[in-house]
Amino acid sequence: MPTVEEIRKALEVVIDPELHRSIVELDMIRRIELGADGEVSVTVSLTTAGCPIRGHFQSSVRDAVMGLDGVRSVNVDFDVLSDEQKSALQRTLGRNDLPAGALALVENVVCVGSGKGGVGKSTLTANLAAALAGEGRRVGVLDADVWGYSIPRMLGLAAERPAVSAERKIIPLDANGIAVMSIGFFVPEDSAVVWRGPMLHKALKQFLEDVEWGALDFLLIDLPPGTGDVSMTLAQLLPQASFVIVTTPQPAAQRVARRAAEMAHKVSLEISGVIENMAGFVTPDGERYAIFGEGGGQALADELDVPLLGRVPLTMPLRAASDAGVPLVVENPDDPASQAIRHAARGLIALAPPPRPSAPAPVGMALPMAG
């Protein structure tokens, strides 16, 4: 009789026709049992109960095991991957979906998401990037809001086009040391991008693997609002990414933001923190009005058991600087909104895992989070 290990080895030839990998490598073999009289039972975990390729697995598993000396009958059973196993599978796939070199030199990938648009996600992404750069970090911004891109304008790059290197890689544009890539660089301003499904997947994949990101401490990704295709695709391509959720102080907004959190959980992206934006309006004289109420960010952070990285007030200079294409944290680091964003950036640094040994040491020191 063959051993369990020999049977497992023999099963390496069984390829999942959709995922194009061996079911052993994909860790889809749940159980191998040896009975009396050369009887073998194999349980294969499928991604869905109604998997249309059951029949394929049934016959190829049987054929692979029958080929072993001493095996007289093969029983193939099925069960369904648990959510946890599915996430692990997704991680395996994500990692292998990108060629080994892509993003190899990026230490931290941080997706900035929200349940809905207009909460200041892009404004915060652009300013967090500038604040991280101000802390001596190497930073890139990928604008993944393919349908509502606004990063080019906010970073003053709306009229520019990226070049292509001799190796046929796209060179990100430079905004004061920040490497920036956006679909907005490739389409006429204000034209609608209608990609969905495979086209979208391909475009995002290209932004990750055909762009010369180089060595970065942080790659910030400005997600489109909601929990749709883009977030799912990126989660699949970037299983190592963490997720920062932007919300406003209202309880209703917090409920919407919670959906983004649920999505992150579902695709097993780690949520690293919440940023509350529009946390009151601060007048030019420094008076503060809680126009959207208070406490939503903290409540969401408590519920998700993650830190509240910052409470960023509405200020007129932040709106004006965004429109003018200059991050306010650079133009006026002392504005109350800038201070809050810089605080959040230091929080991101504090939360980032220490750099991998092979990577160059980061420039500067990680500051502990205040407060």
Ligand X SMILES: Nc1ncnc2c1ncn2[C@@H]1O[C@H](COP(=O)(O)OP(=O)(O)O)[C@@H](O)[C@H]1O
Q: CA 171, CA 179: separation in Å to the nearest integer?
A: 9
Interaction partner, residue 315 (Mg ion, ligand X, none; CB < 5-8 Å by kind): ligand X
Select the span of 49-57, 143-151, 282-290, 356-364 touching Mg ion (CB under 5 A).
143-151
Q: How far is the CB of 98 from Mg ion (least distance, A)?
A: 25
Q: CA 63, CA 74: separation in Å to the nearest integer?
A: 9
Q: How far is the CB of 122 from ligand X (least distance, A)?
A: 3
Q: CA 371, CA 351: separation in Å to the nearest integer?
A: 14
Window 147-166: contact mask with Mg ion (x via CB under 5 A): ---x----------------
The alpha carbon torsion through 350, 225, 140, 354 (nearest 10 deg) reads 20
Window 292-321: contact mask with ligand X (x via CB under 6 A): --------------------x-xx--xx--
> Residues 288-299, buried b or exposed e (16+ Cβ, 10 A)?
eeeebeebbbbb
Q: How far is the CB of 327 from Mg ion (least distance, A)?
A: 15
Within 54-93, the residues that bind ligand X by CB under 6 A are none
| Structure tokens given for 143 | 């604008």
| 121 binds ligand X per the rule CB under 6 A | yes
Using CB atoms, what's the residue nearest to ligand X?
120
Q: How far is the CB of 124 from ligand X (least distance, A)?
A: 7
Of 271 and 337, nearer to ligand X (C-beta) is 337
Q: How far is the CB of 89 from Mg ion (least distance, A)?
A: 31
DSSP code string of 280-321 = EEE-TTS-EE-TT-S-HHHHHHHHHT--EEEEEEE-HHHHHH
DSSP code string of 90-103 = HHHHHHHHS-TTTT
Within 127-156, the residues that bind ligand X by CB under 6 A are 150
* Cβ atoms of residues 193 and 187 within 8 Å: yes
Select the span of 82-90, 100-108, 112-120, 252-260 touching ligand X (CB under 6 A).
112-120
Q: CA 68, CA 32: separation in Å to the nearest integer?
A: 14
The CB density around residue 272, as the number of other CB atoms within 10 Å, is 21
Which of 44, 64, 81, 119 lies at the binding interface for ligand X (CB under 6 A)? 119
Which of 108, 122, 182, 247 lies at the binding interface for Mg ion (CB under 5 A)? 122
Of 90 and 122, nearer to Mg ion (C-beta) is 122
> Residues 159-181, buried b or exposed e (16+ Cβ, 10 A)?
eeebeeeeeebbebbebeebbbb
Phi, psi of 347 (to 5 degrees): -60, -40
The site for Mg ion (CB under 5 A) is made up of: 121-122, 145, 150
Residues that bind ligand X (CB under 6 A): 114, 117-123, 150, 277-278, 312, 314-315, 318-319, 322, 337
